[in-house]
Structures are given as C-alpha cells and as structure tokens.
A and B are shown apart, each in its own frame.
Chain A
C-alpha cells in the first residue's frame, strides 16, 4: 500500500508535466522534446535561489518563471520560425532534440556534474491508509493538486481557457470570432512553460539529489502519459499520468523495482501501435 502513496506523488508530478507538454502539442502540433531541458534548468534556478537563503517553496517561484520565459522563447525563436518554413514534422522534432542537447549540456557545462539537493527538510512522516508519506511529499501532493485544479478552472471557466481550447480545435474559426490567436498561442506557451518549470522543480525536490541530466529520461514517462490520454488532451494527460504514475510504483512492489519503468515503455509502444490518438482522442483528431 505504501507504493500507492509513492504512486500518487509520481502521478501528481507527472500530471503537471504532462499537461504542460500536451498543451504545447495541442496548440502548436509539435512534440517539444526539449521539454526536459527546460524542466531541469528551472529546477536549477530554484536551487540557486535556495542556496542563497531563499526557502525552497518561495524559490520555486523563480523556477516557475524560468520555465514560463524559456518556453515562450522556445516557441517564439525556434518553433515558430522553423514551422513557417513548412518542413516535415520530423525535422522540427530533430530541432527540438538539438535544443534539448544545448539546454541540458549547456547547463552541465556551467554548473558541473556533481549532484545537488535543495535545502529543505523532509518533514515528519505521516501514516494513514497504509501509506507512509513525509511532510515534503504531502506538500508536493497538495501543490500539484492545487495547480491541476487551477488548470481545470482555467480551461473550463475562464475566457482565456476557452479561447485556448478553441484555438487548438480550430484556429481559423477562432480568428473569425475575433480571437487573437497569435496572442493565445504565446500565452499557452507561457502557461505550459510555467507548468514545466513547476514540474521540473517539484521533480527535483521529490528525487532528492539531482544533476543536469536527471530529467533526460523523464520524457519517456511523459510521452507514455500523453499518448495514453491522447495527444493534445489536457484531461487525458491527467488521466494518463495517474495511470502511469500508479502502475509504475505499484508494479515495483511485485516485480524487481529496477524494471518498474518498463510498464511506461510498454504502454507507450502499445498506444503508438494500436491507438495513437489515445483514450480521449478519435481518428479525426490526428
């Protein structure tokens, strides 16, 4: 049962990350494989604030801002110009990989390769419902749940959120209705970038010790969650993250824990082979 608790944490962090990633895909139709590098850079910004005597949770704001700004720049200066050239989607993905290399290893060149950790206490342990979670994990859970709730509120109840959903469904019609789609797309990258920054920082907090390449393999879990729920579907992303997060941790209780991530891989490959539009998508959306 304790693995259920770990699963919840993993799912929560993964959900934040995946919702951001899938929003970027929904509005720009690009698999932003540079997402992991933005995550880890945001974590490091938080870390540097943290070691300069800012408490971790306040320093988090720095990470969130970093993620937002970096993602916005990524769209403005890389993806949009390349997309204007009408290249095959695969080319943009290769560009994204290039950016990921620059972002991750540029960071490593600057900060070195030693492991670091936040100055924060793990808090007390709490036992309930068979789960053992420490204070830090509970806060992570709470923050993630709150942010997911915020996103839900944004998408469903605000004018901006509806404009975002309209733009990703039918950009031409949105423009006809008076929506400034350019602005909406930029804002989407800003918001999803903030999620990316948050996810990166919380991921680093949860992992304990981290370094520049720690987030490189996270993209696999992310892709699995996204394709499970359906590319471009934020609610699908949340569901996918929940399933992947829980199943990887719970499986660790039954099989050799080293292999727990294999489930994510198998799910991803299975979805790509049989149902690439995910649980919530349909053939037409692809």
Chain B
C-alpha cells in the first residue's frame, strides 16, 4: 500500500479514527498490529508470515540473550539472531546475485556451472524490517536494552506500518518505550503530523514523480551517448528525485506516526547543503548511517585505531552500506566511492584543518560544491542498471560525447534546473536549522499559503502512483 494511493488514504482514515476512538491501550496496540499486517499484506499476503516469523524468532532470541547469565551463551544467542536475520536477507535479496557471481568466479578457472535461476520475489522492505528487528537483539546483547515481555509490543515495534517498508530504521530501543504509556490525543501534534504528511506527499508526488522522474528515467534508459548538458541534467534530476522520494516517504512516515502519538526521529537534514562527506552522512538517511555507525563502524574500532585501520573501517562500512541497498556491483561501487570520499576528506582534514584559510567562506562554498558534485557522480552508479550505462553517463558528463544525442525537451531542462536550484537554496537556507524551527519562524498566513499550494498541487497532480524507490531495497 503506497502512501500516495487512495487505498492508503482510506486505510489511514479508518485506522486513525478507530485508534483514537478506542479507550483501552492494549486494544489500541492490537489495532495497530492488525493494521500494520494488513498494510504489509496488501503487497503480498504470504510475506506477512515471513515478517511474523522473523519477529517472533528475534523476540525469543532476545529473551534468551536477556536471561543467559553466561557471556558465551549470550554470544551464542546473538550469533543465532544475526545469522537468522542475515541469512533471511541473504536468501531473498542476494540469492541470485551470489549464484551469478559464483558462476562467474568458477568460470574464471574454467569450470562451466549453470546455476538455476531462483525465482525469488523480494519481500518489500525486508532490509528495513530486518534492521528494526536486529537492533533489538543487538541492543539487548550490548546491555543497553531490556527484553520486552510483550510479544505484541515487539511485533508492533518491528512492523509499525508508517516505518515498516522504507524506514526510517527505527530501533526497538527507541520505539518500545513509547508503548508503555498510551499517548494522549493532542490537537496540535495531530495536525502537525498531517502537515508533515502533506509536505512528504508533495515532495514525492509533485517534485520527485512529476517534475524529475520522467527525465531521469529517460536519460538513464537511453541506449546511446548523450551530450554533457543532458547527461548532467539526468544526474541532477535523479539526485533530486531520490532525495524527494525518500525524504518524502520519511516525512510521511514521521507524520503518520505523529498522528498516532508516536515520535520518530528525523531521517534527513538538508543533505544537499553538506560541506564534506561526513557532514553529508550526518544529514542523509540518518537512521541507516547511525545504525551502521553504532553496530558496525564503532565495533570495528571506529576512529580509535591507527589511521590506516580507521580508513579501512570506513571503506568496509560503506561497502556494506552500498550492498545493503541492492544486490548489484553498481551499489557496491556507490558505497566504495562514498567510503573513498570519507577517507579523502579525513586526510584533507588532517592536512588542512588548522590552516587559517580552511574556514574562509569561499573555501566552504568550494567544499560544498565539491561535495555535491562528488555525491552526484556517485549517484550515477546508484541509478545505472549496469556499468555500461554508468560509464556512458560519466563519459557524457565529462565531455566524452561531444556529438552525442540531446533527448530532453527545453521544458524538462528548465524543470530540472528550477528544482535543483530550489532544493540547494532551500537546503542552504535551512542548513543550521530544523524543519520545525523554520516553520516556527513563519507567520501563520505563510504556513497557510504554503500548505494550500501543496495540498492543491497534490490534488491536481492526481496521485501519480509510482512506487517509492526505496521499496526495492
């Protein structure tokens, strides 16, 4: 069920009405569990069984870790949980990828092996709910979370429908405490939740789908060489599309949760105003970057090790972060590029941080520009279906196809230019702020005008029902 569909509007209205009209907190939680499973089953009902199985297993394993007194036993149960979750993810998401690569590898040594193509359907949002669930056993093992006694509460923490299929990745430790006491219906909070959903839908339906997705798809789907203008326009269009698509989904999720009285943390913080790559990752898909930081980077030693090892840690984390996004080497390259960017940035910091010119405004602007361009170059690998497309795109961007084709209309170029300029300006303006503080500074008439324009634009766009990009991850 997509947020940008009529089905969701009806579903959400029914759930919210029932939820706030029920008095008993356990009954309300049961309703949310039921609603979450209906929401998930609306894609493919059998996958709801898979979701329940992994959740129930982690609930049980969490208990085992919690009650084990012996450290070795705790480790054993944790390894079981990690293996269970990752093997599930591995089978559904990486099964064919692994087989294909194995085929290629044995082919290099002259063995002809034809693996069966596994006709595996990827359960929507498996990467997200696996991480929701895994955070529970990891935190219990680390001693920062007590196992919950309620299976129902844990099921709800993993499957809560606003964040179930495309994040933010909400850790059980952040969500379970909110299930202890029933939230009270607060008018302003409810309406602010609806406002966030409106902004999120506007980002998704109007900016990502209507203004940017068409040109981006055509550029990346074109079979021939393109001139530099069209190549860059396609990449900028995708850079905008993926931000508005994913940030829009996250805002909808945060808003929907808020209308039900739950508080989810920000997932984006104006990333295209980032100066440097560590700054970028503090602003982009924050729930994933903090997950990788806390459960992978820091346990690897983080930056408390020798510089070479710290650099390697960054590369490893970003490699896995790339692979998390999809079973393709293009995602791996995207991750490795970001890892390399982070390493280069760290080296630059060590060398130049103390220089007086390092904090000059012009240097900051230059650093921002370099960050944005490098992020866009990495997006080429993220979006391209294969390396042939990626290479062709990079060739076009850097003037390799002077006699390439021009396939975008002037109107599309203007659209891409306007949205890109708009998003960069907006991110710079809000760089040091939160969305809430920006709204707080606006007069009520401006909030009303912006809200009305967004609501009308969503209606007039007629709910283009493109799926969210991150559903496939």
Physical interaction between A and B:
no
